[in-house]
Structure 1
Amino acid sequence: MRTFIDDLCKVQVVYTRSGLFAVALLTALSLTAASQTPIPPSPSPQTGSSSPEGATTPTTAPDAPSTSPATPEPEANADAHAVIVKDPLLSQGAFSVQTVGGEIKEDQLKPLLIGKTLYLRAGYLDNTLEFDEHGRLLGHSPQGSYTLNQIQINKVKLSKRKLELEGDRYGLHFLGAAPFEDPTTATDRVKITPKKKAVRISFDREQVEIPKKKKQKGKDKHKHNDQDQAKTDAASPAAPVDSSAAPQNASSSALGTAPQQNLADGRASSDKKVTTTTSPAHASQLLLTALDKVFSIGIDERMIAAMPDFWKLYYQAAANKVDFKPADPGVFHLNAVDQKAKLISALDPPSNEFAQASGVAGMALYHTVVGTNGKVEEIVAGRPIGFGLDESAEQTIRKATFQPAMKDGKPVPVALDVVVSFRIYSKRTSQPGTPATTDPTRPGPYTVRVPAASPPSPTAQ
């Protein structure tokens, strides 16, 4: 290296007389030498020692991203994502709530439930119902028609452990629609909850548990050592008999063998039945799922799909704005047979306590298919009356016996409309039972006023 510099100086002496040319030549030679001479790398900021001579730049390249200013970007993205899910909007079916930090508040549930037309999907008739956090009934309850299970919520109380609802039960009464009206909307709501009483429905809530901080290992180890020493002292033969009882009692208390009572619901903590989570959003979503499982806001598609064919076909025909027609093309129309089908057995469907207490009476029409054996093979609500009376009519009509229709001297299946009359059994409005008619003409108004008459026999109930 020193020899190379001496040569450069000689060149400078030789070409001094050449003026600027010599200076330019010297500069060019210096730059060339500098580019060819290896430069020792600077000491690494992480280790504080220099790399071996002749090391190339790729050996330090992998360390560059660790000190790059672009590394905070994932944290910024994580913060942006946290802002998006901070107050998630939770939905389940027709129930939707804007949460606060994933938690549902009572003030958010009130506009969602109070004053809405809710139906109990399973048709529970008890006025006190308790459900777990998954919407499963705790205990038992009789079930009835959906027309007796419309619930109007008046009060909502939300706590960490329960959602408590209080309201009134209503019966659905069909009024009879005009030909241009939707028969499913021509209805009336009649309150059937007695005065000074209410329907009370509660839901258990999934418990949100905040993880506890772990204790330091040193303290835990010291504690275990003390316990082991106490057990050793208690088991020592030299120890008095009476003194050995004290450490046992103290140890039993320290281990917590006695169940701790939960003051909120009176159950032992070891006997807890509800599920737990560390996410408020998960507990809120589970609550909405339970509500959607128990309640329907109006008569939705899921509710119709769960109904028996008696009601399902009625709503399908109403949605298509057509009258019910049997699916079997081999079923004859009443006007296409030589001899009409006739009822040859009694047809007197019973009423129920809700209809009697609310004064619901009148006539209802049902579409049926009478087979060649005189039995009803199919029945669909045509112009129902509601209040659980249509289910009574269906069961009674299925048990009835008809004289089959005849065509060319042979019995044939025929479509037949059956009109059933319901009456009030009281001194104020009652009348003897009227025979059922098979006239296919649709009846007039459903709720009829009948003149006062003598009370019926006790068997009429």
Structure 2
Amino acid sequence: MRTFIDDLRKVQVVYTRIGFFAVALLTALSLTAPAQTPTPPAPSPQTGSSSPQAAATTTPTTAQDESGSSPASEPGLEPNVALHAAIVKDPLLNQGAFSIQTVGGDIKEDQLKPLLVGKTLYLRAGYLDNNLEFDEHGRLLGHSPQGSYTLSQIQINKVKLSKHKLELEGDRYGLHFLGAAPFEDPTTATDRVKITPKKKAVRISFDREQVEIPKKKKQKGKDKHKRSDQDQAKTDASSPASPVDSAAAPPNASSSVPDTIPQQNLADGHSSSDKKVTTTASPAHASQLLLTALDKIFSIGIDERMIAAMPDFWKLYYQAAANKVDFKPADPGVFHLNAVDQKAKLISALDPPSNEFAQASGVAGMALYHTVIGSDGKVEEVVAGRPIGFGLDESAEQTIRKATFQPAMKDGKPVPVALDVVVSFRIYSKRTSQPGRPETTDPTRPGPYTVRVPAAAPSSPTAQ
């Protein structure tokens, strides 16, 4: 019996020594093993790494600079977290063709100047007044007549940005088509003519959404931290998407924002009954709203949105120019001029009026328009062929549509036919002494214009 107990004690001592040795071995291994940082997951093929947010999440945490140390970051933050915080702090905002890097979510005047000064922009709505005021959503305050886009080029010369307004000052230019050779692009054969009178300027202003940061109330007592946590939870639940989400979106993703933004539908702002503009707690939201207003009012060049908003008279012209083909009627039943027995003939006067801008700038000459004359002799379609610009083409279209033609004949029957009409515009002498017509407005066209036509014999247009 005693021998069995002695053997049991020996076995216990052996196992105890093995345990101590295992603990010592594991401790040594943990002290000598190199520290490892988990590798971030690879970017998804669907999202890629082109956006700032993706760049933040895919930046390796073990990145080092040339000195071998980790990049500078905020205390207690991993490098990728610090980069994420930097993107949130200074988001890149985009709206249509306008893109700007903000500082703390806010747009600075020095950043707006390179974006606007010296640039030629088009007023999308063709406002003709030289003093225009818009609210923070890009809605016109007051009224202004609207004219042809060929009278709506604005060159920005000065930019002034304050807390409450963006003020722009510049000159208005008219677009004059010079006529292009058959192998040239007719849209590029143009000239810009300044039509702003001397010592005067075009002034355009935008209201800015006001940034109001809520003030934190001081709390007393033991529940101070508890209330702060509750307030933070409420703020997180009601706050909009981070500016990073806007920065990570594609440049043109925000182009789907409606032209008119109801105040009650703002994601981050709210309307105030005692204020004219909306307020927000986010500088980035106010900056994005300003870019949205700029994109709503201005076009950098003649973009697709601008062409889509034009009447068919201009839309079909740009489509034909883009495809490098002559305009052809969509209706296959319209005959070509060479396929009829008797051509269509003009049987009424055709004298489209000029306008004050063309007269003051000396713009005159001939322009060609494609028309479709129906079997009843009425004009069914008018499309610019070789326009002249300066708002004269709109006057020509209206006049041609009111004209009467003798229909073309085929096998003894009247048939619809495609007909080119050439119209001449001239400079009137002694305009101020001539009787004029009152200013007229046609809501279906890009008018109105101040029309002054002298008591003179009408010019003789030719039909081809």
Fold match (TM-score > 0.5): yes
Alignment counterpart, residue 383 of structure 1, candidates 386, 409, 413 = 386
CA distance in 1, matches of 2:304, 2:403: 32
Partner residue in 1 for 2:261: none
Structure 1 equivalent of residue 195 of structure 2: 192
Q: Secondary structure at the match of 1:391?
A: helix
Q: Partners in 1 of 2:416 and 2:149 — Cα distance?
A: 31
SS at match of 1:382: strand
Q: 3-state SS of the aligned residue for 2:122?
A: strand
1:420 aligns with 2:403: no
AA aligned opposite 1:209: E
Matching residue's letter, 2:213: I
Structure 1 residues 424-443: aligned runs within 5 Å: 424-427=427-430, 432-438=457-463, 440=464
Unaligned runs of at least 5 residues, structure 1: 1-5, 13-21, 36-71, 219-268, 441-461
CA 1:270–1:408 in structure 2 vs 1: closer, same or farther (change >3 Å)? closer
Q: Is the 8 A contact 2:173 2:193 kept in 1?
A: yes
Q: Aligned equivalents of 2:424 and 2:136: distance in 1?
A: 44
Counterpart residue type for residue 433 of structure 1: P
Amino acid at match of 1:189: R
Once the two structures are TM-superposed, the CA of residue 98 in structure 1 deviates from its matched residue by: 1.2
Cα–Cα, structure 1 residues 305 and 28, in superposed 2: closer, same or farther, change >3 Å?
same
Equivalent residue in structure 2 for 1:107, among 99, 107, 110: 110
- CA distance in 1 between counterparts of 2:216 and 2:187 reads 58
RMSD, aligned CA: 2.7
Task: Answer yes or no: is the 8 Å Cα contact 2:173–2:195 preserved in 1.
Answer: yes
2-side partners of 1:316 and 1:119: how far apart? 19
Paired position in structure 2 for 1:26: 9
Match of 2:145 in 1: 142
TM-score, normalization: structure 1?
0.69
Q: Distance in 2 between matches of 1:216 and 1:29?
A: 63
Change (3 A) 1:183 1:82: same
Counterpart-to-counterpart distance in 2, 1:388 and 1:316: 20
Tell me, yes or no, if structure 1 residue 303 matches structure 2 residue 286: no
Q: TM-score, normalised by structure 2?
A: 0.68
Cα distance per residue 1:165-208 (max 9 Å; x no partner): 00000000000011111100100001110111100000011111
Cα distance in 1 for residues equivalent to 2:114 and 2:96: 16
For the pair 1:322 / 2:347, whether they are aligned, the reply is no
CA contact (8 A) 2:349 2:458 kept: no
How far off is 1:135 after superposition? Answer: 0.7
What's the secondary structure of 1:83's corresponding residue? helix
How far apart, in 2, do the equivalents of 1:410 and 1:34 lie? 119
Matched residue type, 2:313: F
Distance 2:169 2:16 in 1: 94
Q: 2:403 aligns with which of 382, 389, 400?
A: 400
Cα distance in 2, alignment partners of residues 283 and 122 from structure 1: 24
Spell out, residue by residue over 1:241-290, the C-alpha distance to the aligned partner (whole angstroms, 9 max, x if none).
xxxxxxxxxxxxxxxxxxxxxxxxxxxx9621211111111111111111
For 1:177, the equivalent position in structure 2 comes to: 180
- Give yes or no for contact 2:137–2:289 (8 Å, CA) kept in 1: yes
Is 1:154 the counterpart of 2:137? The answer is no
Once the two structures are superposed, residues 284-306 of structure 1 have per-residue CA deviations (whole angstroms, 9 ceiling, x without a partner) of 11111110000000000000000
Q: Does 1:285 align with 2:258?
A: no
Q: How does 1:335-350 map to 2 (within 5 A)?
A: 335-350=338-353
Matches within 5 A, 1:35-184: 76=78, 78-184=81-187
Partner in structure 2 of residue 241 of structure 1? none
The 1:305–1:270 alpha-carbon spacing in structure 2 relative to 1, beyond 3 Å, is closer
Change (3 A) 1:7 1:352: farther
The answer on whether the counterparts of 2:370 and 2:420 sit within 8 Å (CA) in structure 1 is: yes
Q: What does residue 369 of structure 2 align with?
A: 366
Distance 1:7 1:383 in 2: 123
One-letter amino acid of the counterpart of residue 119, structure 2: K
Q: Once the 2 structures are TM-superposed, how far is the Cα of residue 83 of structure 1 from its aligned partner?
A: 2.0
Number of aligned pairs?
A: 337
Q: Aligned-pair distance for 1:433?
A: 3.2
Q: Secondary structure at the match of 2:89?
A: coil
Q: Secondary structure at the match of 2:462?
A: coil
Letter of the structure 1 residue corresponding to residue 204 of structure 2: I
1-side partners of 2:406 and 2:337: how far apart? 13
d(CA) in 1 for partners of 2:308 and 2:76? 48
AA paired with 1:324?
Answer: F
Q: Which amino acid aligns with 1:343?
A: L
Task: Return the offset for 1:78.
Answer: 4.4
| Equivalent position amino acid for 1:114 in 2 | V
**Counterparts of 2:351 and 2:321, CA distance in 1:** 27
Q: Secondary structure at the match of 1:156?
A: strand
Q: Which amino acid aligns with 2:458?
A: G
For residues 89 and 10 of structure 2, the distance between their equivalents in structure 1, rounded to whole angstroms, comes to: 66
Distance 1:213 1:29 in 2: 67
Q: How much identity, in percent, do the aligned residues show?
A: 86
Are 2:136 and 2:207, in contact at CA under 8 Å, matched by a contact in 1?
Answer: yes
Q: Which has the larger radius of gyration?
A: 1
- For 2:12 and 2:340, locate their aligned partners in 1 and report how far apart those are by CA, in whole Å: 121
Structure 1 residue aligned with 2:44: none
Measure the CA separation in 1 of the matches of 2:10 and 2:204. Answer: 96
d(CA) in 2 for partners of 1:342 and 1:33? 119
Residues 304-363 of structure 1: per-residue CA shift (max 9 Å, x gap): 000000000000000000000001111001111111100001100111110111111111
